[in-house]
Structure 1
Amino acid sequence: MSSGLHIQKVLVIQDAFVDHSVNAIRWAIRGLSLQPRDKIKLLRVIQLFDTTSSITCGILGHRRKLHSSATITQREESIKKETDKKLGEDRNSDEMNNILQLATMQQIEFERAVEAGHSLKGAIVLAAKAFNATSVILDRKSKKDQKYFIDNLKCAILRVKRDQSVEYVRRPNAAESYYIAADRGQSSSHRAGDQGEVIFQTSICSICMNPRPHMGPLREFTYSDLHYSTSGFSVRSGLPHTRKVFYRGVLSDGVQIFVRKHALGTITEMEFKSRVQMLGKVRHENVAMLLGSCSDGPEKLLVYEYVCNMTLNVHLTNRSRELTWERRMKIARGIAKGLEYLHSKSFYGSMRPNNVLLTHDYDPLLANFGLARNQYEDLNQSSETRVMKTFEYLAPEYEESGIDSSKTDVYSLGVVLLELITGRKTIEETEGKSFLRWARPLLKDKSYGELIDPVVLESHDLHQLFWMVRIAEKCINRDPGKRFSIHKVVNILMYISRNRETVDLSLLESEIEPTR
């Protein structure tokens, strides 16, 4: 809980005539890790008067409504009319009401205001100072005025980009970050202790309001409990394209869950309980949380938190148009960061789209790891096509050694990255070849036009595409010694997400300094 001295106060600026999006507010709640008693203020800006013409572009790119020769009464009437209109639009907005609900659930104070006048740059600065803002998120059209805000504000400054993502113009003062983090029992890097354990805030899906569970003791469930909660492990409760291994259920206390069935006759009761205890300590923003387990004879059941938007496999198979380029990049970063964390805990294997759960915000959470002795145990022999598809994610050396390692997972990650780039291809689209036999020559020739998924052909970022292709190519190298380390994959993905316009090819041959 924040103290009165170190409460975060975020001022979000919007063009009242153009921008009605709540993405910046949604991002602030999650990206700035806002907590109870923190505050967000949405300032909608209107510039009504112009000294040169009756219709022109204002500071934030909207049309001004009145010439400066208008009478004082006309000005006051117009300001009141526009202000009331914008506040009324907010009250009738479903998106805004969802944000209000989200803020209320997280005990974040949220207020709205409309500012109108001639010099909006000055008005924004005055509003930020009066609010004692710790962060200001500017409208994307205000890029040309960034220097003015940097010179006149002391707080962190961010800006909404064209693709609705948010970037820092100036990061928060180091001392202020330290005091806010210390007040919340965190280090400024959001890591705790010598174990490098990542602290993540309990978040809520901004679309369906599904919350991530709080950390608690592992629960032991009976088979009848889970049988009842999943309607008898019915087909309707199973996720599509997952070979009926994930079942959605609702516990008697209303908590939504996923149940993962492991019919593993090769694992002993003692081994199972030992592994469950280890899995119960896994906590990361990109790893699905284990809530408990059940062991009943040959049936080994793991109970995970419910993740609301199915698996990456479902979205790839369905050729989902919701998988925009930005979301694909976000998924790639999250998967890599989750894998890096799991590898630090010596958990390997099962890196494939079936085991990547997504929220409606397209945050990926890895699941189904840490129990199978080898990846062959997880294959379903009832479908030859599915088996062959699963084998494509296995590194060449795995067939000989049968040993999971970080480099075998990096190989599997490379195949997943390639699917994010190309989309899920059918055998007809790959000219009757396996996916990798089709893709390798195109990777070697840098044939981006043939590699890129047509769904994102018009919206991808060329620099990011170039790097993604290079990363995938390095990951699926047949020689494990020539593959990237998982740390390097994470660092490069983070780098290209933050530095789109500066691609340094030498970084492929040397480790990028961590930027997280």
Structure 2
Amino acid sequence: MSFSSEAFIQILLIFLLLPSSICQLPLDTLTPNQPIRDGDVLVSSRKLFALGFFSPGNPQHRHVGVWFYKVPEKTIVWVANRNHPVNDSSGVLSISGDGGLVIHGKDQSTPLWSANVTLSSPNNFTAKLRDTGNLVLLENGNQRVVWDSFDYPSDTVLSSMKLGLDRRSGLEWLITSWKSKDDPGTGSCTYGIDPRGSPQLFLKKEGGPLWRSGPWIGDRWSGEPQLSSTVGLFNLSFVNNEDEISYKRVVANDSLFTRGVLDESGIYQRLMWNDKENKWIELVSDPNEWCDNYGLCGPNSNCDPYNDYKFACTCQPGFEPKSPSDWYLRIGVGGCIRKAGVSVCRNGEGFVPVNRVKVPDSSTAVRVNMSLSLEACKLECLMDCSCTAYTSADERGGGNGCLTWHGDLMDTRTYPKVGQDLYVRVDATSLGNRRRNKCSFILTAGSTYFEESSGGTAFDDSRINSELAFFHLKTITTATNNFSIENKLGEGGFGSVYKGILHNGKEIAVKRLSKFSGQGVEEFKNEILLIAKLQHRNLVRILGCCVEDEEKILIYEYLPNKSLDSFIFNETKRALLNWTKRFEIIFGIARGILYLHEDSRLRIIHRDLKASNVLLDNSLNPKIADFGMARIFSGEQSEANTNRVVGTYGYMSPEYAMEGLFSIKSDVYSFGVLLLEIITGKKNVGYYHEEYPNSNLVGHVWDLWKEGRAVEIFDSSIEEYLVSEVVRCIQIGLLCVQEYATDRPTMSAVVSMLGNDAALPSPRRPAFLLKRMTPSGEPSSGEGANSVNDVTCTIVEGR
């Protein structure tokens, strides 16, 4: 059947003359003639966000909200009628002259919510949902925005949304928590900028501060060092002028879904959607550590969460506890006051630096002068007897601008790496004592002595990190109940590990060298020197040491889930590690080794990677432990030789076990064995299978791989897993245990392989090492094969 051109034109004219109500407007636009009714959904042009009615908890309570359109879970980012829900499905969102945007229920006479905008001619306005998630009310002709939802946020900050204050209108941009997970009503927690003094972000509950960011220092907030790690992911903008104070974060790739959300308990999280894992991934959480809690230690104090070995609260230089008897019993009660009987006014006083801190609260009793250099700032503060401390207002370019405090120093805390230097006013006596007592301790054969260090000279690698704590033996014996059997966590060739509890309630792990151990001072010193220099989420953290009488003791963070081998080789507990968690553990171990090989200040070969040297924290995240056998490589050095082979059979590469040649590829081999053990739940050494009686675990995996049956070796205790992902990991494991070191990938390549789906090379026949078994059936340890989570290594070479 065909139409003539005249017939086609007639049909087209009939269509164009039909009532406009059947012509669908763009999905992202609301017009006076087309309101949004309960059940309708407005979608942004690129289908990134949606708007409509929803019920967060009670199905009878209907709210208008905005959510991510492409995220499977309905993640609400804005709510209009937070405190006035529609009590049935009769709700309508429409454009009105009286209110601009309004929500009505059954009662059409009184709106439940409005944008509080008066429109002289509502037919000249439309509402549009933008791809930023911002709902805007526009004047049709000039597209002027007369109202937008970003000015009235709920509990969520989106990319491009401002926090701060419009000084012209007095409008404050801040987010407020929901009342509960099921009630989007206005809660008691807020997150926004306090414009007083030097502006800061504050998280408050019922008006009282819970956490603050510290002042803006040019490229980040003083108290958010983690912002340095998001460079490239976000573009940050801070404005402070006569019109406004504002801060916004714009995601560099607008295809990424990110949000900052404040929950009803007062926790603010920045999250990113992970399509592969189909879940939100946490980037930042505030407060995150206990020292993040506002004013925890009281005025004129400093909180250092990394000094777990001692009381975290310390007084600022020149100050002492206001209530000494209560100071250690109740966290920082009363704070600190200036030492009695001292003068800090034109009496030879000076300043002591407190390094790497979030500077004190800058909202009150603070002065800002951007025209001064740091040196001029020091003189300005020195000449004013009320000035208690100073720092640079902008850290860029070596520091410029001047920030001075003229009262109590509230809410200072320390960071491990990135932070500002605060200069605190002290009296002449305290200043002189500090200069005389600046010292470091050096471990010698079985004893400790102090050496006065000359001004600012860097310590060489033979010295312990000056921030590492030296514990008294009495402190350790008290913490471990005199090394009681009830506190014992494990034992190896080096001695024993005990759980301890310090006087402030902090749990620690105490590694005590046996007097009869083959380990010596050099190995003990090696572990301290190495691990004290390392900072990574997948490495165990050392807190300090004790060398007293005949004792040599290392103190670590306590990890309650003990070691990985206690899970994967235990018939009951290994079922607790599903495939997702095992993959996360594999990935975490790989990142930790990559840090040792390439990303730390030192190039470190661990030399004793195995399941018992991977510890698990509360969330079962892996942390590599035991650096007693590790070696530092210098410059571009990539391999070395030793006459003293140390490590554990079954994990040692063939070139190391037989020739004493070790390199980063030795660790790669050990990682490959460990990866296969995690996948199978079986030990490499001592493994036996009747079908392949002459193979260890690696050999059995290889035989099955050749036959296309590799997945059969997968731990049978796991029911749900992605076959392709398991097979890929097995292939990566086989690539890591190749016989020749040159055939093995680097750890950077391994991390890349684990993180994407690119094609992998085919493995060749792996190396098979004969096992030497102890009578108990466990792998042998000692020189030539020595390690039971202990401290044995060769000489440290500084880089």
TM-score (norm 1): 0.56
Q: Secondary structure at the match of 2:721?
A: coil
Note the alpha carbon deviations across 1:323-368, whole angstroms, 9 max, x for none: 2322222221221221222234334222011111122233221111
Aligned counterpart, 1:72: 104
Identity %: 25
Shift of the 226–475 alpha-carbon distance from structure 1 to 2, 3 Å rule, reads: same
Shift of the 331–216 alpha-carbon distance from structure 1 to 2, 3 Å rule, reads: farther
Aligned counterpart, 2:759: 504
Aligned counterpart, 1:474: 735
> C-alpha separation between the residues in 2 aligned to 1:149 and 1:404?
44
Aligned counterpart, 2:249: 134
| Residues 1:419 and 2:673 aligned together | no
Q: Secondary structure at the match of 1:505?
A: coil
Structure 2 contact 589–624 (Cα < 8 Å) conserved: yes
Aligned counterpart, 1:326: 580
| 2:569 partner letter | T
Aligned counterpart, 2:143: none
- Please state how far the C-alpha of 1:492 moved relative to its aligned partner: 2.2
- The partner residue of 2:499 within 232, 240, 248 is 248
| Residues 1:354 and 2:612 aligned together | yes
- Please state how far the C-alpha of 1:411 moved relative to its aligned partner: 1.2
| 1:322 partner letter | L
| Residues 1:300 and 2:552 aligned together | yes
1:62-101 aligned at under 5 Å gives the runs: 66=89, 72-74=104-106, 87-89=179-181
Aligned counterpart, 1:277: 529
Bigger RCO (CA 8 Å, 6+ sep): 1
When you count helix as a share of all residues, which structure comes out higher? 1
Aligned counterpart, 2:512: 261
1:441-480 aligned at under 5 Å gives the runs: 441-460=703-722, 462-480=723-741
Q: Secondary structure at the match of 2:509?
A: strand
Q: Secondary structure at the match of 2:556?
A: strand
| Residues 1:229 and 2:479 aligned together | yes
Structure 2 contact 687–696 (Cα < 8 Å) conserved: no
Note the alpha carbon deviations across 1:32-54, whole angstroms, 9 max, x for none: xxxxxxxxxxxx995699xxxxx
Note the alpha carbon deviations across 1:450-473, whole angstroms, 9 max, x for none: 12223434233x443232112100
Structure 1 contact 241–354 (Cα < 8 Å) conserved: no
Q: Secondary structure at the match of 2:543?
A: strand
- The partner residue of 2:595 within 341, 346, 349 is 341
1:353-392 aligned at under 5 Å gives the runs: 353-371=611-629, 390-392=648-650
> C-alpha separation between the residues in 2 aligned to 1:135 and 1:407?
41
- Please state how far the C-alpha of 1:293 moved relative to its aligned partner: 1.5
- The partner residue of 1:491 within 752, 775, 778 is 752
Structure 1 contact 159–166 (Cα < 8 Å) conserved: yes
Structure 1 contact 310–357 (Cα < 8 Å) conserved: yes
Aligned counterpart, 2:702: 440
Aligned counterpart, 2:469: 219
Shift of the 472–270 alpha-carbon distance from structure 1 to 2, 3 Å rule, reads: closer
Structure 1 contact 13–45 (Cα < 8 Å) conserved: no
- Please state how far the C-alpha of 1:162 moved relative to its aligned partner: 7.7
| 2:540 partner letter | A
> C-alpha separation between the residues in 1 aligned to 2:569 and 2:742?
32
Shift of the 236–271 alpha-carbon distance from structure 1 to 2, 3 Å rule, reads: closer
| 1:276 partner letter | I
Q: Secondary structure at the match of 1:340?
A: helix
Structure 1 contact 230–237 (Cα < 8 Å) conserved: yes
Structure 2 contact 711–727 (Cα < 8 Å) conserved: no
> C-alpha separation between the residues in 2 aligned to 1:332 and 1:326?
10
Structure 2 contact 90–106 (Cα < 8 Å) conserved: no
| 2:503 partner letter | S
Q: Secondary structure at the match of 2:510?
A: strand
Structure 1 contact 229–251 (Cα < 8 Å) conserved: yes
Considering only aligned residues, what root-mean-square deviation do their CA atoms show, in Å? Answer: 5.4
Shift of the 78–435 alpha-carbon distance from structure 1 to 2, 3 Å rule, reads: farther
Structure 1 contact 415–472 (Cα < 8 Å) conserved: yes
Structure 2 contact 526–628 (Cα < 8 Å) conserved: no
| 1:221 partner letter | F
> C-alpha separation between the residues in 2 aligned to 1:429 and 1:270?
38
| 1:421 partner letter | I
When you count strand as a share of all residues, which structure comes out higher? 2
Q: Secondary structure at the match of 2:700?
A: helix
> C-alpha separation between the residues in 2 aligned to 1:90 and 1:294?
52
Aligned counterpart, 2:541: 289
Shift of the 46–283 alpha-carbon distance from structure 1 to 2, 3 Å rule, reads: same
Structure 1 contact 135–157 (Cα < 8 Å) conserved: no
> C-alpha separation between the residues in 2 aligned to 1:163 and 1:456?
18
> C-alpha separation between the residues in 2 aligned to 1:421 and 1:77?
60
Structure 1 contact 160–167 (Cα < 8 Å) conserved: yes
- Please state how far the C-alpha of 1:485 moved relative to its aligned partner: 1.9
Aligned counterpart, 2:488: 238
| 1:237 partner letter | N
Note the alpha carbon deviations across 1:290-347, whole angstroms, 9 max, x for none: 2212235664321112234322112213343332322222221221221222234334
Q: Secondary structure at the match of 2:574?
A: coil
> C-alpha separation between the residues in 2 aligned to 1:45 and 1:366?
50
> C-alpha separation between the residues in 2 aligned to 1:487 and 1:184?
33
Structure 1 contact 286–364 (Cα < 8 Å) conserved: yes
| 2:745 partner letter | F
> C-alpha separation between the residues in 2 aligned to 1:375 and 1:235?
37
> C-alpha separation between the residues in 1 aligned to 2:589 and 2:581?
12
Q: Secondary structure at the match of 1:466?
A: helix
Q: Secondary structure at the match of 1:303?
A: strand
- The partner residue of 1:159 within 273, 276, 283 is 273
Pair member with larger Rg: 2
> C-alpha separation between the residues in 2 aligned to 1:347 and 1:149?
38
> C-alpha separation between the residues in 2 aligned to 1:220 and 1:305?
15
Instruction: Give the paired residue count.
Output: 371
Structure 1 contact 443–473 (Cα < 8 Å) conserved: no
- Please state how far the C-alpha of 1:148 moved relative to its aligned partner: 12
- Please state how far the C-alpha of 1:410 moved relative to its aligned partner: 1.2
Q: Secondary structure at the match of 1:489?
A: helix
Shift of the 17–481 alpha-carbon distance from structure 1 to 2, 3 Å rule, reads: farther
Shift of the 354–428 alpha-carbon distance from structure 1 to 2, 3 Å rule, reads: closer
> C-alpha separation between the residues in 2 aligned to 1:262 and 1:148?
50
Note the alpha carbon deviations across 1:232-275, whole angstroms, 9 max, x for none: 33343233697874322122343322122334755554664465
> C-alpha separation between the residues in 2 aligned to 1:321 and 1:340?
28
